[in-house]
Amino acid sequence: MLFLKNWTKMRKLLILILILFSYLTGVAGVANAEKIPILMYHSIGDGTGYKRSARDLFCSPPQFWAHLLYIQQAGYQTVTFKDVMNDRFLQKKIILTFDDGYENQWEAYDELLKRHMVAVFFPVLRAVDKNHKYLNSDQLRVMARMGMEIGSHSMTHPVLSRSNAKKVEYEIKESKLQLEKITGKEVITFCYPYGRYNNKVMQVTESVGYYYARKIGRASCRERV
Ligand SMILES: [Zn+2]
């Protein structure tokens, strides 16, 4: 399961849980007043040309469209962490997240927009504007303007629990500042690279102004939709 860490600045304690199916390409099916399912995606595409291990992080477009259809038909409303923070609560909420800032996520964004759905994107700052494989600043700005939430996934995607204090602060704080410069919006959510963190990392995440941090939890069966 994935948990969103709720920081002391929050007005109420929420524990949001992600139920993952497969390598984060499935659809979660549970939610109640305290729990919000979160789906984690990486790449949208067929993974052609990638190693098998990397291909497992791909969700094909038809599969992704099927997930969205399922979410809609099951009566879920996609929300962002900002929606949660602002108490824009609906009956059945779900959060869709996209890690690492791959350019193929633009296709997902486009489809979400058509369906009046939202998601949270977590680019790694080092990769932004790097090359055509990654989302660029203009795309992130547009996505933010169109209602998507842009959160931070660090500067260079290190294992923070193994990094020294200076690096931890740099990765967490600098990425927030740079993303805010790019999008013009406050960045309230951090996504731990590899889902790895410790108490010190959590403390820094809180102290530099994030409200939520997403970690990785359990993955289970593939192809539930
Ligand atoms: Zn990542």
C-alpha span between 145 and 179 (Å, rounded): 13
Q: How far is the CA of 154 from the centre of ligand 1 (A)?
A: 9
pLDDT over 60 at 11, yes or no? no
Specify the CATH number for the domain of residue 8.
3.20.20.370
pLDDT at 137: 98
C-alpha span between 32 and 137 (Å, rounded): 36
Q: How far is the CA of 131 from the centre of ligand 1 (A)?
A: 17
C-alpha span between 66 and 190 (Å, rounded): 28
C-alpha span between 114 and 120 (Å, rounded): 16
| Within a domain: 220 | no
Q: Around ion ligand 1, which residues have CB less than 5 A away?
A: 99-100
pLDDT over 50 at 1, yes or no? no
pLDDT at 221: 34
pTM (predicted TM-score): 0.83
| Within a domain: 16 | yes
pLDDT over 50 at 4, yes or no? no
Please provide the average confidence, as pLDDT, over all residues in the chain.
Answer: 83
Mean pLDDT along residues 78-87: 90
More confident residue, 177 or 222: 177
Percent of the chain having pLDDT more than 90?
A: 70
Domain that holds residue 187: 2-214
| Within a domain: 197 | yes
| Within a domain: 42 | yes
Q: What are the pLDDT digits (tens) for 118-167?
A: 999 999 999 999 999 999 999 999 999 999 999 999 999 999 999 999 99
More confident residue, 129 or 14: 129
CB atoms within 10 A of CB 90: 12
Closest CA to 157 of 128, 133, 182: 128
Q: How far is the CA of 100 from the centre of ligand 1 (A)?
A: 5
| Within a domain: 68 | yes
